[in-house]
């Protein structure tokens, strides 16, 4: 998802008005994840999704994102899932284990369900870096995650 996306402009090539999205939000580091969620939600609406078709699911922390993403993506009515979380490095290797598990879990949900599942999880060295990526000087990575799932849906349509 890294790139130069700073804001959403234009509509999707697809009609998103009937597409359903789940945004799974970790409650840990809530000030950051709420800002990321707002970015994702705004981006989906800007791209043409309907408010009633954007479903929010909260989980305690980033480690729980993959399971809720899987439960959500397994539903036929859901077109894509966006995972929102924030893991800030501490003094122990716990950070490394959580980040690796979450990244692998989300990737596996993509492959198992054959649906776009975005990794909107910040893995930062400190809280300032997280805030810089949650609407600060580096944009909003939640917005980028929403754009990513829409682009993947568009790619899938072109493939079929």
Which of left, alpha, beta for 109 (phi over 0: left; psi -120 to 50: alpha)? alpha
42 included as an active-site residue: no
The two three-digit tokens of residue 151, written as one number: 């682009």
Marked catalytic residue, from 94, 128, 138, 155: 94
Given the structure tokens 């930062």, which residue do they identify?
124
The two three-digit tokens of residue 29, written as one number: 């580091």
Please give the Cα distance from 141 to 133 (Å, whole number).
6
The two three-digit tokens of residue 50, written as one number: 């309907």
Longest pairwise C-alpha distance within the chain: 48
- Reference 19, options 64, 81, 61, 70; nearest CA is 81
Helix axes 65-73, 94-113, angle to 10 degrees: 10
The residues annotated with a catalytic role in the active site are 94
């Amino acid at each position: 998802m890294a790139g130069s996306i700073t804001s959403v402009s234009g509509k999707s090539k697809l009609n998103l008005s009937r597409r359903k999205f789940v945004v799974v939000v970790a409650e840990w580091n809530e000030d950051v994840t709420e800002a990321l969620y707002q970015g994702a939600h705004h981006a989906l609406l800007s791209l043409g999704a309907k408010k009633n078709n954007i479903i929010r699911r909260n989980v305690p922390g980033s480690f729980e994102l993959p399971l809720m993403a899987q439960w959500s993506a397994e539903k036929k009515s859901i077109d894509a899932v966006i995972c929102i979380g924030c893991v800030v490095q501490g003094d122990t290797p716990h950070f490394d284990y959580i980040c690796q598990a979450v990244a692998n879990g989300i990737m596996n949900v993509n492959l198992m369900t054959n649906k776009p599942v975005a990794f909107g999880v910040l893995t930062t060295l400190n809280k300032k870096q997280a805030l810089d990526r949650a609407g600060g000087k580096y944009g909003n990575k939640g917005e980028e995650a929403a754009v990513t799932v829409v682009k993947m849906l568009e790619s899938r349509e072109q493939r079929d």
